[in-house]
Amino acid sequence: MEFVVELVISVLIVIGGLFTLIGSFGLVKLPNLLMRLHAPTKATTVGVGAILIASMLFFWIERGTFTIHELLITIFLFLTAPITANLIGKAYLLRHIDPKDELPHTGESEGWATFDPRNPEEPPKDPGKLPQD
Amino acid sequence: MIEYALNFAFVCAGLALLINLWRLSFGPTIADRVLAVDTMAINGIALLVLYGIGRATSMYFEAALLFAMVGFVSTVAYCKFVLRGDIIE
């Protein structure tokens, strides 16, 4: 029984290490930023997730008491990963994408939130094609 | 057996951190560098948890939790600075 649990822990650690490496390899391999955003999510979910489950099991057989406080990190990473990806994507859009040529019209009187002015009174930096009415 | 798996995972996470460092140095855009820092924080969490398993103490768990929080806040701060020219408006 002990051997089976150790085997499971070892396999989870190896999977976690491999996926951490794969996520970072994708960060170098993929051609542009919006594709590169996709790669490190593998390291976040499978990589760190497997290592944390291995840690939970290891401390279970080590101490004899089962705790789930490692899941806090997993939940925190799952909650924050979409927010960071969204903000990095918005920063990239602001610096490198032309809202007139490369983005479709929003169909509203407001433009894309990224390109809206910092202060509502001052005119938008680039109004685009606003409806005339 | 766990020791061999841990050594393998240490090598993987260290290599991943080196690759991220390459992207941080040569990344063509600012967003690439921010993404590299974010991924480095995540790999740092993995490395800390592995080290905690190796030393059989749960002390490094708190460090990993702090890394997760500080990594998230720093990424959001960098992105806000690029987006708005200011962090707290």
* ipTM associated with this complex: 0.87
Q: Are B71 and B38 in contact (CB under 8 A)?
A: yes
Residues, chain B = 89
Is A76 near chain B, with CB under 8 Å?
Answer: yes
Residues of chain A neighbouring B1 (CB-CB closer than 8 A): 6-7, 10
Per-residue pLDDT of chain A (133 residues; tens, 9 = 90+): 778 888 999 999 999 999 999 999 998 888 888 888 888 887 788 889 899 999 998 888 888 888 888 888 888 988 998 899 999 988 888 888 777 777 777 777 777 777 776 666 665 555 555 444 4
Q: Which of B18, B42, B61, B87 is best to mutate for the A interface (most A CBs within 10 A)?
A: B42
* Model confidence, pTM: 0.83
Residues 6+ apart with CB under 8 A from B57: none
Q: What is the pLDDT of residues B38-74, one digit of tens each?
A: 999 999 999 999 999 888 888 888 898 999 999 999 9
What chain B holds in terms of domains, given with CATH numbers, is 1-88 (1.10.287)
Selected residues 92-131 of chain A with any CB under 8 Å from a CB in chain B: 92, 94-96, 114, 118
DSSP one-letter code for A113? G
What's the rounded Cα separation, in Å, for the pair B69 and B63?
10
Q: Which of A5, A60, A78, A84 is best to mutate for the B interface (most B CBs within 10 A)?
A: A84
